[in-house]
Structure 1
Amino acid sequence: MASTFRAIGSSDDEIERLKFTLVSEDSKGHSCQYCSVLSINFRRLIDGRVEASSDSYLDTTEREVRRKAKLGCSFWAMICDRLAQMTLTQKAKNILGGMPDDLYFSTDSLWGWRNNRFLEALEGEEKSEFLRLWRKSGVDWHYAFERPCDGLDFASSLRNQSRENAVSSDLLRLNFFSNGDYFRLYLTFGLFGDASFLVLIPPSKKFGINAKRMDIASPMNLEPSSPMTVDLIKCWLQKCEFQHRCGLFDLPSSMPSMILRVVSRDSAVLVEVTPGMRKRYLALSYCWGQGTQRLLLFRSNKPILTSGTGIKISQLDATIQDAMITTYELGFEYLWIDALCIVQDDEDFKAKELRKMGDIYRNAAFTIVPSAAGDVREGFLKRRLSTLERIVPAEGRPQIVFMMKAEWKDERSNETTPFSAILQAKELQGDKEPWYHRAWTLQEALFSRRRLQYHEKQTTWRCYCAGEKILDHDGWFSRSNEGSGHYLSEVLGHVTRMLWNRQNLPHTSVVFGYWYSLVYEYSSRALTYFTDRLPAISSTAREFASILQDHYVCGLWASDLALGLAWKTAVSYLSYDNKSVKEPSWSWASYIGTASWNRGECKRSLDFQVVRFSELPVDPFRESGSIEIHIRGLLMPFSYNFYLHNEEYSVEMDDDVSKNPELTVLTDYYEDSRFGDSPETEIHLLPLIVTCSLKVQGLALIEDAQRPGKYLRVGLFIRRRIWAVPDDYPEDHDIEEDSEWPDDAPEDYQSQLRSAFGGEKNIKEIILI
């Protein structure tokens, strides 16, 4: 079967038409004659900016609100509940008497203890009603003020949490006036903070709404496997190929050793790739989950899977089935899946294919990513839950998804467009999708030039082959629900573009920064086998080694070892176990947990020098071995006692010589048998770097009792206030907080550093193990 496309057009207008139709089934909510008087108004200003106006309001009374709620209007029932909660809150405050001022400026989500105080003050039915209103609201109302009052709103945005390039809103605001007889209900937008509500509007270029807005999204495409969705994806592919000519349909430069040929929606056959074979193929990046897959490739069943009998797709796990169906429906013939294209019980074959993992994903036309599926049995083409199905009101509570009138006005053309929008209570931000928790998938994402990704609420298309990342979606596009987090998306974008555009490489220090950011993310992810700690990022490391022209040593870089060794562990309750923790102790790869680095500019201690490494393993990208580093540097002994400091397990010491108590050691493990049972044990401090805030960071080491002269890492130390303060320095300033490299730092930092750690007599050559 050749890779073909039905002529469906790929213009922006066609894409918009398909999206508009696809999300129509999710464009539903409560609407009745009593709440239809309110509307949401958008406008594009002369300068092109988009804003929501706040001139939609209604004056009403509590009696009128209760009447409309009893007549079955869910919108006014929601407002009625809020008014009742405010009344009970005010009564509880009156009973309790004086309350702290900040009580009136706290969000419901952050003041559970205050609500508990209110609950204690109320009795009987009032207490039960307050508990019902508080616990089962379904709406995160932001502010609670006394009522009645002059013009104060109880649901205005958080003014102290602005976000760059983001607009958020609470959308609903009540104003109470001094006579207490009536109030004004606004439908409005704030500028800062998190949203209590979201507005869902149809996808349209005309509206100019983008994913940077945190309060506006689109209804969802509920059928990710529908023929119309397939047509939309084909439009994305055609647009990607013909508008920026990224080579989507070019033949690959190399192929995996084995590949699946998808013959139909029902069958596939495993093909051994010959040396000259070049066929366009897709790759799958997914979560295996728990247990064993229904079908894996072994030496015993390889003859059957490569024969004419092949594979019946219906016998495979749901995610594998969906990937094959997607491949076939989009007009592609070949698909690579690790479980079926790597011989699982042939270690030599497996090692060979894993070394090629970067090229396998790099050469795929694109990668299919079911990021919302945490297990291969889940699949990703099933129907999505609608907004109404997702936001189910608690028992006895009103519906909190509303169909509203909306209006778009373009001040540049003076054109006004009416449409319908959905106002929904904002859901709590969930955790990252399962795919983002797996260690292996990080480099699969990095090497994928293009990703067709099936999220929980949307399907997205990403292409990194253009000058800028191309991103499209089939519906929902709130940035806060992309599934991965904004920071990770930015890092992946920078690194992916760097891997694909070697002509404009950033400065070496920036590339090192990318590496440390990747390892921070990678080390927080899960591995089934800890022995895969280095192999699962080995292909990425090979690419960085090519860019940096540097030696890779157990997860670190030889030319940046001073900073590389200064990794910090996350706060945790891990215990050291000499049976499971492997050497070398100085590498993050031996630590079972998240590692992070100082992100600011820093200077290396000039006394720190790498003399040599012990013999490196045959494949340094996949193996750590027991690499030893012979180094020369300042080595200062200290005796210490443990104590709990700021919820981090650390060591703090007083230096009677320099009268400097500002030294903290953050131990890698909460319980560490290497310290022994003595309450006071000697450790050694090895300074590595001076940060931009003039703090010294370095290794906390202990000498191995069985191997004299060899030292184990047990933590990271931070030493402050080693700099002499000038006589004329302002008393209300902190030299560490004020100084930044390179202009404001002391020029004699090295001599000051050496002096603070015992002078030249403490410069020694040791071995890190």
Structure 2
Amino acid sequence: MRHAQARIAQWMEDCKRNHPNCLGGAPMPLPTRVIAVGTEGAEPFLYETKGAMGQYTALSHCWGPPDKRPPTTVRANLSVRKRGIPIGELSPTFLEAVQLTRALGIPYLWIDSLCIIQDDERDWAREAARMADVYTNAALTISATGAADSKVGLLQPVSSRKLPPSMLLDTGPGEASEELRRIYGRRTDLQETIDDLFAPHIVERSAARDNAEPLFSRAWTLQEWVLSRRVVHFATGELLWDCLGAEGCECQGARLVPRQGRHGIWRRVFEPGSEVDKNRLEDPEWVWRKTVMIFTSRQITYDSDKLPALSGVAKSLAAERPADGGYIAGHWRSELPLSLLWRRGYMFGTKTPTSRPAKYHAPSWSWASVNGPIWYGDQHRGDICCKALDVSYELASPLNPYGALQSASLVVSGMIANVGGCVDIDHEDLTRGLRKPVDVMFISDIWEEGMARTTQDVVFLLVLSEWDSYSRELRCDGLALLAADSVGGVDRFTRVGKLSLTVGPRTGAEKKWRKSIKSKAELDEIWMAEFRASERTIIII
């Protein structure tokens, strides 16, 4: 551990001296509670900061299964924790985090399980809402990247084989393309790294990718990494350094490698005091959708934590995007209705079951209402065909405006079509011609192995349409909805999936007819007449 402490101290000093965007070692507002680590031989204790300033480290770790859960603070032991936390009660990971914090000369350490009162719902909600500040203000985030639980410890066995550096993890979308900013580290004998898992559409393979290190499989830890100024990863095999200005690994020695324009977009968005020209950044809507895709591919223990586990990222983005009109249920108001075009995260890859949570915490139109990976397509093109008129909601806790909900409804105005019976694509061909020349593709939000082949009578809300002048086809994307009830004369619906229509000739015998199509308006008339479409205002719940 002493060697690791010395190397991390070198990296910290290099960063403080050469990376102004990492904010040096200035005192920051302390979280509500921190662990005062003291000196060697002293007993750490829980310190209630009451708005004090100072320096602290933060631990990012996997809690592990119930039989390996870390020590926690609850109402019954809070007063005892304030007097002292016996070293013998600390798990190996927690103890090594205390030792590292002491070695760096930093007086305080923040650990979620000890610094949040776990059986106090109000305290938990308040602290979850402050997660953005906790990790942004930490002098260093200590990441137990290679440990599946806190009983393993920070340091992981190093392979006896000396292999060259290779990519271990991606760190978010690149600055000007689909490229990924990478951190390099040495492979271990058995570790499957990102090099082995890389695919052009990284999120389609994210579940496999995240198996590279235990911490990357957990949903909560995504924002812990994203929001941090500096992170040291205790990975399987060696240490990795990741800050706003540089990256490094043990195999490269003490030298840190400047990013040289390879900052991930997340770093640019969340970088304190950044003077980056916003016009050079990639589309922030795309950034958020990529974030959602990566986040939902990870595992989360409690369904109700889904929105709170991303609330820190949402809060940070909200500060960067004041013109977006607010955030609700995982969506930005300015992105509605296009952001509604998410779907279950499977097409041609491995099928992953999805389900609805047992307890409500998000409306059906929110990706957070589905347990399982979510996928957004490429940048949406075409004409927006409906309007989001109003959003109303009630928070589960007023302490976290970016967290779970008690209820929510979305009022939209657009073209509604009676499509009738639809069967999920998992039960038949990718496209299904219901009535030529209109093909319908229905992707249900919910899927599980052995699910009955059922037909649902759905209506189609048209969100986006694109006219392809070359193929003479009209492509329409929207939502599959089921009627729920009526309130005040306005019909209410629940979302059950994503639905796409392709309008146009499908066979060689129709080539003559294809050439006769001159405009989008002609195809609009065809599908609207076919499905008895009409302009309506509805509520989606």
TM-score (structure 2 length as normaliser): 0.77
Classify the secondary structure of the residue corresponding to 1:444: helix
Confirm whether residue 602 of structure 1 aligns to residue 381 of structure 2. yes
Identity %: 26
Classify the secondary structure of the residue corresponding to 2:499: strand
Classify the secondary structure of the residue corresponding to 2:283: helix
Distance change (3 Å), C-alpha of 1:614 and 1:581: closer
- Any stretches of 5+ residues in structure 2 without a counterpart? 164-185, 197-210, 254-260, 469-473
Where do residues 303-322 of structure 1 align in structure 2 (5 Å cutoff)?
303-307=79-83, 310-322=84-96
**Range with bigger deviation, 610-619 or 577-586:** 577-586
**Range with bigger deviation, 564-573 or 625-634:** 564-573
Classify the secondary structure of the residue corresponding to 1:541: helix
* 2:440 equivalent in structure 1: 663
Distance change (3 Å), C-alpha of 1:379 and 1:681: closer
Are the counterparts in 2 of residues 535 and 621 from structure 1 also a CA contact under 8 Å? yes
Confirm whether residue 717 of structure 1 aligns to residue 479 of structure 2. no
Where do residues 235-634 of structure 1 align in structure 2 (5 Å cutoff)?
235-246=10-21, 249-275=24-50, 277-291=52-66, 293=69, 295-307=71-83, 310-387=84-161, 429=193, 431-464=211-244, 469-475=245-251, 493-500=264-271, 501-504=273-276, 506=278, 510-549=283-322, 550=324, 551-571=326-346, 572=351, 574=353, 579-580=358-359, 584-606=363-385, 608-617=386-395, 618=398, 619-634=400-415
Q: CA deviation at 1:378?
A: 0.8
**1:710 counterpart letter in structure 2:** R
Counterparts of 1:248 and 1:452 in 2: how far apart (Å)? 16
* 1:156 equivalent in structure 2: none
Are the counterparts in 2 of residues 282 and 327 from structure 1 also a CA contact under 8 Å? yes
* 1:768 equivalent in structure 2: 540
Q: CA deviation at 1:528?
A: 1.1
Q: CA deviation at 1:381?
A: 2.1
**2:389 counterpart letter in structure 1:** V
Counterparts of 1:472 and 1:368 in 2: how far apart (Å)? 15
* 1:676-702, Cα deviation, whole Å (9 max, x unpaired): 99x754311112123697632110112
Are the counterparts in 2 of residues 639 and 683 from structure 1 also a CA contact under 8 Å? yes
Counterparts of 1:423 and 1:318 in 2: how far apart (Å)? 24
Are the counterparts in 2 of residues 683 and 702 from structure 1 also a CA contact under 8 Å? yes
Distance change (3 Å), C-alpha of 1:350 and 1:640: closer
Distance change (3 Å), C-alpha of 1:317 and 1:525: same
Where do residues 615-654 of structure 1 align in structure 2 (5 Å cutoff)?
615-617=393-395, 618=398, 619-640=400-421, 642=423, 645=426, 652-654=432-434
Are the counterparts in 2 of residues 586 and 768 from structure 1 also a CA contact under 8 Å? yes
Counterparts of 1:301 and 1:385 in 2: how far apart (Å)? 41
Classify the secondary structure of the residue corresponding to 1:757: helix
Counterparts of 2:429 and 2:146 in 1: how far apart (Å)? 35
Classify the secondary structure of the residue corresponding to 2:268: helix
**2:278 counterpart letter in structure 1:** P
- Any stretches of 5+ residues in structure 1 without a counterpart? 1-224, 391-421, 478-489, 736-745
Are the counterparts in 2 of residues 249 and 280 from structure 1 also a CA contact under 8 Å? no
**2:392 counterpart letter in structure 1:** S
Counterparts of 1:326 and 1:273 in 2: how far apart (Å)? 21
Confirm whether residue 688 of structure 1 aligns to residue 463 of structure 2. yes
Distance change (3 Å), C-alpha of 1:593 and 1:273: same
Distance change (3 Å), C-alpha of 1:454 and 1:757: farther
Where do residues 697-708 of structure 1 align in structure 2 (5 Å cutoff)?
697-704=477-484
Distance change (3 Å), C-alpha of 1:427 and 1:294: closer
Classify the secondary structure of the residue corresponding to 1:350: helix
Distance change (3 Å), C-alpha of 1:268 and 1:361: farther
Are the counterparts in 2 of residues 450 and 462 from structure 1 also a CA contact under 8 Å? yes
* 1:12 equivalent in structure 2: none
- May I ask how many residue pairs the two structures share in their alignment? 472
Q: CA deviation at 1:273?
A: 3.9
- Larger gyration radius, structure 1 or structure 2: 1
Distance change (3 Å), C-alpha of 1:339 and 1:632: same
* 1:418-473, Cα deviation, whole Å (9 max, x unpaired): xxxx9999975473211111111111111100101111022111111xxxx40011
Distance change (3 Å), C-alpha of 1:242 and 1:340: same
Classify the secondary structure of the residue corresponding to 1:288: coil
Are the counterparts in 1 of residues 223 and 309 from structure 2 also a CA contact under 8 Å? yes
Counterparts of 1:578 and 1:530 in 2: how far apart (Å)? 6
Classify the secondary structure of the residue corresponding to 1:720: strand
Classify the secondary structure of the residue corresponding to 1:612: strand
* 1:471-511, Cα deviation, whole Å (9 max, x unpaired): 0110289xxxxxxxxxxxx9993112211155335359711
Where do residues 40-55 of structure 1 align in structure 2 (5 Å cutoff)?
none
Q: What is the aligned-residue RMSD (CA, Å)? A: 3.9
Are the counterparts in 2 of residues 267 and 311 from structure 1 also a CA contact under 8 Å? no
Are the counterparts in 2 of residues 651 and 666 from structure 1 also a CA contact under 8 Å? no
TM-score (structure 1 length as normaliser): 0.55
Classify the secondary structure of the residue corresponding to 1:513: helix
